[in-house]
Amino acid sequence: MDPDIEKLFDHAGVAAEGGLEALLGRRVTHQAFGAGKIVDIGTGGQGQGLIVRVQFGEVGKEFSPDEFRRQFLRKQYVMNQPLISNVEGFVSRVKDAFERKWLTNFGHLHEEFSDALRDELDAPYVLPVTNATFGLLTLLNAMEIRGEVITVPFTFPATYHALFHVAGVTPVFVDVSERNFGMDAEAAAEAITENTAAILPVHVYGFPCDVDRLASLARERNLPLIFDAAPCFGVKYKGTTITNLGDASVLSFHATKVFTTAEGGAIVCRDRELYERCKLFINFGIQGEQTVEMVGLNGKMDELRCALGLANLEGVDLALKRRRRVVEYYLEFFSRSDFPAISYPQDLYQSQDHELNYSYFPVVVEASKEMDRDILYKRLREKGVFARTYYYPTVIDSPIYEDYHPQYAELPVAEKLSKNVLCLPVNPNFDETDCEYIVEALADSMGSA
C-alpha cells in the first residue's frame, strides 16, 4: 500500500485492512475547522490524485492525503471530559451573583446548591467544600479523630494525604478485596487495636466497598466510619444513596468526576452537630465576627462554583445514562471476546445490590512475557486511547513517603491490583463509533502481544 495512504489510516485511527471504505464516517478534528467527518474518498478532477472529502457541519472540504495528515489532529480518546451541561444557566446565575455583589461566604448560590444536593442525594446534611481532600481533612478534624485510622493503600493519594495532615492521626493500611477493589473487612477487623480511632474505607472506582460488614464492624467496636466516596456521585447501595452510609462521606466534584464544579466536593452526614462543626471548620472556626471556636481553615465553596454545580445538576442524569451506554458496549465486547489475560469485575455490573455511576471501567491484566498492563497501556496510547493506571503506585509503595511512615507489611492484593489494573476511558461524549474504535484498539493491542 502507498505509504501515504497507510499514514492516512493511521492518522484517522482505523485499521488499513478495512480498505478505504473503512475510513468513511470517521470523525476527525481539523486544526481550524474543528470536528468533521470523512464523507468520501476518491480521485479529484484535474489530476489531483486521491482526495479525502470531509464535512464540517454545512461546509465540505477536500484534502490530499498529505494535507490530511498535516492538518488533522488524530482524535484522542481521553478518560473523561468535564460535564458542562447548561452554560446559559451557569452564566445567568453568575450574573445574578455579580449583581448581588456576593461571591463567597455562604451566599445565595451556596444555599441553593446545598439544598439541591440534599434533594439529589436524599441526605439530611450536605456541605459543599473546596474539594474532597479538604472534605476529609475537615471531617477528621471536626470529629476530633486522634489515633490510628484504618484505611487502604489502593486509592488516590488524597485519602492518605488528608490523614497525614491531621495532628495525632496515624494511618494503618489494610489490604483490599479482589472482588470490589475496596477495603477487606476481615483485614480491617484484624487491624483494630485499642488505639484505633476510626475506619476510613474508599469506594474505589465508585464500586461500593463491603459496606454491610464494615458498618457492623464499626458498630460492634464503637468506631466512627468515614467513607471516601470521592468518585461516587449517583451511586446507590440497596436503594440508598451511598453517601448516606456510615457516619459521614465525602464526594469529589473535581472536573474528572461524573459530576463537577471544576474543583469542589461535599461532606454528607446525618448528624446536625457534626455538620455544624464541619461548617465551622471550613470557615476558619470563626463564629460570628469575633469568636474563634476552633482552629479551622478555609474550605468554603464559592458562589461561582455553586453556580456551575446548579447548572450541571440539570445534565448529570443524561451524562450518567451515556456513561452506562459506553460501559455496556465494553461489557458486550468482553462477553463475546476471548482474552484469557484480561478479567473485569463482571459480578459488580450484574449485582442488584447497587446502582453504579459508570465512572471507570477497570480491567485486570494478568502479566506474561508478551503482555502486561504497562505494555497494553503503551500500545493503547500509541493508538490515541488514553487509559489510566489507577492506582499505581499504592501509597505504601511510593518512595516519597519512606521518611514519614514505617515500612508496612506487604499487602498482596493491593500490590497486585496496582500493577495490573488498567482503567479504560469512560467518556459520556463517546458514541458507538468511538467505543468501536477503542475496543478495536484493545483487540489489536492484545492480538499483537
Query: Which three three-digit cell numbers place residue 93?
Result: 446565575
Residues 6+ apart with CB under 8 A from 357: 206, 231, 232, 233, 234, 235, 258, 320, 323
281 interacts with ligand PLP by CB under 6 A: no
Query: Which three three-digit cell numbers place residue 167?
Result: 495532628
Residues 6+ apart with CB under 8 A from 397: 153, 415, 418
75 interacts with ligand PLP by CB under 6 A: no
Q: Which part of the chain contacts ligand PLP (CB under 6 A), choosing from 47-55, 156-164, 285-293, 424-432?
A: 156-164
With residue 103 as reference, give the H or E element that holds it. Answer: none
CB of 323 to ligand PLP, least distance (A): 16
Q: Which of 202, 269, 411, 439 binds ligand PLP (CB under 6 A)?
A: 202
Distance CA 396, CA 377 (A): 23
Q: Which of 80, 85, 114, 133 binds ligand PLP (CB under 6 A)?
A: 133
CB of 138 to ligand PLP, least distance (A): 11
Cβ proximity to ligand PLP, 131 vs 312, nearer residue: 131
- Report the SS3 class of residue 328: helix
Interface with ligand PLP: number of residues (CB under 6 A): 14
Q: Which of residues 254-273 bind ligand PLP (CB under 6 A)?
A: 254, 265
Task: Give the residue from 322, 329, 335, 318 showing the smallest Cα distance to 437.
Answer: 329
Cβ proximity to ligand PLP, 254 vs 323, nearer residue: 254
CB of 155 to ligand PLP, least distance (A): 5
Q: Which of 113, 156, 181, 401 binds ligand PLP (CB under 6 A)?
A: 156
Q: Which of residues 51-70 bind ligand PLP (CB under 6 A)?
A: none
Cβ proximity to ligand PLP, 138 vs 420, nearer residue: 138
Residues 6+ apart with CB under 8 A from 98: none
Task: Give the residue from 392, 341, 388 showing the smallest Cα distance to 368.
Answer: 341
8 Å CB contact between 61 and 53: yes
Q: Which of residues 14-43 bind ligand PLP (CB under 6 A)?
A: none
131 interacts with ligand PLP by CB under 6 A: yes
230 interacts with ligand PLP by CB under 6 A: yes
Q: Which part of the chain contacts ligand PLP (CB under 6 A), choosing from 125-133, 207-215, 285-293, 362-370?
A: 125-133
Q: Which of residues 317-346 bind ligand PLP (CB under 6 A)?
A: none
Distance CA 209, CA 204 (A): 7
CB of 217 to ligand PLP, least distance (A): 21
8 Å CB contact between 284 and 292: yes
* Angle value at C-alpha 185, between 180 and 187, nearest 5 degrees: 110
Distance CA 427, CA 78 (A): 7
With residue 63 as reference, give the H or E element that holds it. Answer: strand 59-63
- Residues of the shown chain interacting with ligand PLP in the complex, contacts defined by CB under 6 A: 131-133, 155-156, 158-159, 202, 228, 230-231, 252, 254, 265
